[in-house]
Amino acid sequence: MQSVAGTKSAVAPAMAARPLAARPKAVAAQAAIARPSFAKRVAQRGLKASRVESQRVVVVRAADDKVVVIGLAADSGCGKSTFMRRVTGIFGGEPKPPAGGNPDSNTLISDMTTVICLDDYHSLDRNGRKEKAVTALAPEAQHFDLMYEQVKALKEGKAVQKPIYNHVTGLLDPPEEIKAPKILIIEGLHPFYDDRVNDLVDFRIYLDISDEIKFAWKIQRDMAERGHSLESIKASIEARKPDFDAYIDPQKKKADMIIQVLPTQLVPDEKEGKILRVRLIMKDGKKLFDPVYLFDQGSTVSWIPCGRKLTCSFPGIKMFYGPDTYYGEEVSVLEMDGQFDKLEELIYMESHLSNTSAKFYGEITQQMLKNASFPGSNNGTGLFQTIVGLKVREVYERITEKEVVPV
Ligand SMILES: Nc1ncnc2c1ncn2[C@@H]1O[C@H](COP(=O)(O)OP(=O)(O)OP(=O)(O)O)[C@@H](O)[C@H]1O
Ligand SMILES: O=C(CO)[C@H](O)[C@H](O)COP(=O)(O)O
């Protein structure tokens, strides 16, 4: 079966839904010429027409079969797990590892989504990396051929036997069966590194955490929760840095949306990562989603929402929105510096945002309140992760032409 869902020429739903009579005459004429063979193909394969394009008909798989692939790239310890909980929560169901499987599985399955961790495609286990003196970020420590074959197979609706990298033992465990979900999320270090894998991804997200903040979060987790020493955390960050710069960071250029987390500008020399300046960088002109805007699309807006309608203690909140360029591409940027005092008052800010992909007034605030215990819920990380989660839903709906009922 053919699929155009992974290409940039993916069908615009508005066009697909447009009746022939409403289309320009020349296009309708081409459609008439193309119709017999097309109808034959539809009958033979159970396909449906989606677009008539200059003398040829592009056919997509029946909407029921489509697997939408979402990629999330970030370094370790940058909040991927938290982000995934926010995204999958939008689709409902509790994400769980495959039932009855390996207790150290990295996979999370819920009603509509399956999240696979690309660490499972490490070709070298912990000992192998030590022997070859390479980090887990190096391309030679990944099995990109298998990653490509399996993501492709899942996208085609087939089940795969995916390896498991066991983070407890540092070994590669026997594989687990993964069935094709509606939404496949591939998260990890290299979702966009290999062009073949990258081309299979419908929507690309990159979490860009600045060194200072990454360090603060790592200390918080690895010292407090995993008993590592400050020195060992510093050494591990330093050891990974050259490969991070060479292989992981450049992937952000390919992302559709980037969540950039920086130290605040509201408090001079705040380095503990308690108050954050978070930027949502959204590529313009994409067919599968619309960038969010504040007040007026395309304008440059600075806004301090604190006052009678939004309670702010020191240092307050500063919002920014405007057009920009990112590695030579046009983007829209939405920025939030500071943090909320009362999460329920977020509704005030939400009411000034447009193109959020929320299905009802207050959906963002509702999601944020539901996940209030997650890290980052009082700042731009939680807010923008929630918005990106709604964009994942929008992308899914545009590709499949199916509506997701909000949970
Ligand atoms: N938005 C946030 N604000 C504050 N702290 C955060 C935020 N997101 C994550 N953290 C902290 O950073 C640490 C790492 O987060 P998390 O485990 O979600 O990252 P990860 O990318 O999934 O890591 P890994 O790939 O190593 O498993 C956690 O201790 C978490 O509390
Ligand atoms: O970058 C990582 C995860 O994203 C890990 O460092 C990598 O997967 C190796 O894991 P471990 O340190 O458990 O052997």
In this predicted model, what pLDDT tens digit does every residue of 229-262 receive, in sequence order? 989 988 988 999 999 999 999 999 999 999 999 9
Lowest model confidence (mean pLDDT) among 24-33, 142-151, 156-165, 314-323: 24-33
pLDDT band at 213 (very low <50, low <70, confident <90, very high): very high
Give the chain's mean pLDDT.
Answer: 85
C-alpha span between 31 and 25 (Å, rounded): 10
pTM: 0.85
Ligand nearest to the CA of 191: 2
Q: For residue 168, which atom of ligand 2 is closest to its CA?
A: 13
- Residue with the smallest CA separation from ligand 1 atom 12 is 217
This model of the complex carries an ipTM of 0.96
- Residue with the smallest CA separation from ligand 1 atom 25 is 76
Q: For residue 385, which atom of ligand 1 is closest to its CA?
A: 1
- Residue with the smallest CA separation from ligand 2 atom 12 is 167
Higher-confidence residue of 314 and 61: namely: 314
pLDDT band at 319 (very low <50, low <70, confident <90, very high): very high
Let me know: does 137 contact 243? Beta carbons within 8 Å: yes
Q: How far is the CA of 358 from the centre of ligand 2 (A)?
A: 35
Let me know: does 357 contact 87? Beta carbons within 8 Å: no
- Residue with the smallest CA separation from ligand 1 atom 15 is 79
Q: How far is the CA of 160 from the centre of ligand 2 (A)?
A: 23
